[in-house]
Structure 1
Amino acid sequence: MEKILEVKNLELSFHTFAGEVKAIRGVNFDLKKGETLAIVGESGSGKSVTTKAIMRLLPESSSEFKNGQILFNGKDLTKLTDKEMQKIRGKDISMIFQDPMTSLNPTMTIGKQIMEPILKHQNVAKSEAQKMAIDLLKLVGMPQPEQRMKQYPHQFSGGQRQRIVIAIALACNPKILIADEPTTALDVTIQAQILELMKDLQKKIDTSIIFITHDLGVVANVADRVAVMYSGKIVEIGTVDEIFYNPQHPYTWGLLSSMPSLDVQEEKLYAIPGTPPDLLNPPKGDAFALRSEYAMQIDMEETPPFFKVSDTHYAATWLLHPDAPEVTPPATIIERMKRFPNSRYYESANGGILK
């Protein structure tokens, strides 16, 4: 498939009173046309900063691109002026933020707010923009869209406000839609509706989606590929089945083991020990080593490169080095691996396990 976005060796820092925070440390990934890429990880791992860097929404006074490229349609977004980015932001690349109430202007009707990007980026009359806004509200499943156009954000429920935010993001048929934890502020029932809506919209408008979340349960339903982030780096990337059923990095094992499951009758839910490292002074070697029971001496000294698991699956862990000792993943991970044909623990039809 055609690549619509490429992030190459991106490094970004924040300048604070305490010093330089190395927030993004050599991130590489691409986004293909029509696919959904989920970026997952704990809070503070760099997910939102990466996508805000793509949108160029970080404050220039305190943030700095140290290295790398963000290539969209052959243009490096890190080199564009703010005026040049304004032509791309909202038109070619749109973003859905976490809290719909803070994304909407409480003093403007939602009709005006949906029409605003249409009038700015498309050469249409106000009457045409109004018709397009009504069609967008219909598209996102808003009842009585003509009447709702005249109402204000406080007159809607949380789920309805998120639908309005999605309508605004889709106003100019963007090539890339970035969704930054769009369901976190919603209850479980509404969350499921919004996720189903996004899957349906992607088929209708053929856009590419970057989906940011810390909820792996959400990922399974929406993503084609998954990138796992930790401490400002991507540590594993692969198809959704590869990440869920054949994970290779100990951090991915920890994230998956901490997910509640109806299949596992454990009294306690697993929690990854320790806390993420301080990026004012990033650790030498593998940043996850101090929290991992599988860490080796080399993890403390050298940063692991990406090792190839398959043509679509890569993980940055020394455990995949040919000379690394054999380790046994947690029992919950082995149970997952039994369902994946290319896993070393795959449970064959006759009941045997291949190692």
Structure 2
Amino acid sequence: MTAPILEVKNLKVNFNTYAGTVKAIRDISFDLQPGETLAIVGESGSGKSVTTKTLLGLNAENAIIPDSSQLIFKGQNMLDFKEKDWEKVRGNEIAMVFQDPMTALDPTMTIGKQIAEPILKHQKLSKAAVQKQVLDLMKGVGIPNAEAHVKDYPHQWSGGMRQRAVIAIALAADPEILIADEPTTALDVTIQAQILKMMKEQQRKDNTSIIFITHDLGVVAGVADRVAVMYAGKIVEYGKADEIFYNPRHPYTWGLLDSMPTTDTERGQLHSIPGTPPDLLQPPKGDAFANRNRYGLAIDHEKQPPFFKVSDSHYAATWLLDERAPKVEPPAPIVERWARWQKLQAQEG
């Protein structure tokens, strides 16, 4: 395996608030390979967006990151950066696609000017060369008849077209890492599929590494190479996309998958994970998922589980994988999905 383009080591992010210190990110580590898509999945409040903002140096002023944390990019720990250092990286080498294109775009500027901004900031090109690059980017993200629409304003475009413009802006400086924070949440499923396909095509063309943030494991199945599942500021399971989608081992991942509607879901049958995430002002000393885990053990309330190895690429932090734990059967839909996948693999093999 090639050297990672990004390594996140022992990342902790705390926020000082009037109510106390919120432990938003509680010691997470992961890496990102060149040309890879890593999906970070979890409920709202799990720490996904705080993680990505940290990768861009965009956390609020009340954020505290201990010296033991590291964000290694091109041999440098970005947590040592001054603002001028971040400005060289942000939007140029690491770019971001935000969730809501209407708030990400400036309503007073034309689409073309907004796409041109990062090009002008990071490259020395003639006006004609910039204009050509803007049109090429618009065409590359699937905007039809780009020449006729380069002077349009955001309010003139649909949600799907605006999201394409936001992606074009993010790609304008040819970044090595693209962070996509819930980029398709506000779009209907047809447009969502088009956007995801377009992002994968751009990735294949430029070998861009992508960090894809989502709460929807269904989206992950067709997009990600690897998946990290986050809960209460920690990564609780990670592995290849097929391993997480077809053979998940953490009860929280079971819950996320079981709550996904499918074509087999009947009216009134949609499942949810009971309870709510813990208060990160006072995180529990044991497994943060313990109070919501119907398969929970006594030790879950006393001690945080380590990562147990499922395969060379698949790990899960749950005491259910301890050799002393009772054998627990996952929910029926998880078992059925795993059986279908094994059958398919046997047929293809």
TM range (shorter): over 0.9
Deviations 1:205-241 (A, max 9, x none): 2101000011111111111111100000000001111
Displacement of 1:267 in angstroms is 4.4
* C-alpha deviation, 1:266, in angstroms: 7.5
**Higher mean C-alpha displacement, 220-229 vs 147-156:** 147-156
Q: Distance in 1 between matches of 2:103 and 2:344?
A: 49
Whole-Å Cα distance in 2 between the matches of residues 176 and 236 of structure 1?
Answer: 23
| Mapped contact 1:119–1:126 kept (Cα < 8 A) | no
Partner of 1:175: 176
Correspondence for 2:230: 229
Q: CA offset at residue 265 of structure 1?
A: 4.9
**Secondary structure in structure 2 of the residue aligned to 1:314:** strand
Q: Which residue is equivalent to 2:124? A: 123
Flag the 1:227–1:151 CA change in 2: closer, same or farther, 3 A. Answer: same
Aligned letter for 1:323?
Answer: R
Matches of residues 90-169 of structure 1 in structure 2 within 5 Å? 90-169=91-170
8 Å Cα contact 1:4/1:31 also seen in 2: yes
Q: Is the 8 A contact 1:26 1:233 kept in 2?
A: yes
Q: What is the distance in 1 between the residues matched to 2:250 and 2:121?
A: 45
| Alignment coverage as a number of residue pairs | 345
> Is 1:62 paired with 2:58?
no
Aligned to 2:294: 293
Structure 1 residue 62 displacement after superposition: 1.1
Give 1:263 deviation, angstroms.
3.5
What secondary structure is seen at the aligned counterpart in 2 of 1:222?
A: coil
Runs (4+) of structure 1 exceeding 4 A deviation are: 264-267, 346-350
Displacement after TM superposition at 1:311 (Å): 0.7
Deviations 1:68-102 (A, max 9, x none): 11111111111101110100001100000000010
Alignment partners' CA distance in 1, 2:143 and 2:344: 46
- Cα distance in 1 for partners of 2:282, 2:213 equals 25
Residue 95 of structure 1 aligns with an amino acid whose one-letter code is: M
Q: Does the C-alpha gap of structure 1 residues 135 and 307 become closer, same or farther in structure 2, counting only changes over 3 Å?
A: same
Q: Distance in 1 between matches of 2:251 and 2:313?
A: 19
Consecutive unaligned residues in structure 1, runs of 5 or more: 351-355
Partners of 1:160 and 1:227 in 2: CA distance? 29
> Contact 1:253 / 1:329 at 8 angstroms: preserved in 2?
yes
- Map of 2:79 onto structure 1: 78
Secondary structure of 1:338's aligned partner: helix
Q: How far apart in 2 are the matches of 1:112 and 1:264?
A: 46
1:1-355 alignment runs, 5 A limit: 1-2=1-2, 3-59=4-60, 61-66=61-66, 67-263=68-264, 265=266, 267-341=268-342
- Distance in 1 (CA, whole Å) between partners of 2:140 and 2:346 is 45
TM-score normalised to structure 1 length: 0.94
1:146–1:320 distance in 2 versus 1, CA, 3 Å: same
CA distance in 1, matches of 2:338, 2:150: 50
What secondary structure is seen at the aligned counterpart in 2 of 1:329? coil
Cα distance in 1, alignment partners of residues 164 and 324 from structure 2: 51
Q: Which runs of 5+ in 2 are unaligned?
A: none
| Cα distance between partner residues in 2 of 1:154 and 1:18 | 40
| Whole-angstrom CA distance in 2 between matches of 1:151 and 1:120 | 22
Could you say what secondary structure the match of 1:51 adopts? helix
**Equivalent position SS for 1:339:** helix
Alpha-carbon offset, residue 258 of structure 1: 0.7
Give the 3 Å change call, closer, same or farther, for CA 144–265 of structure 1 in structure 2.
Answer: closer
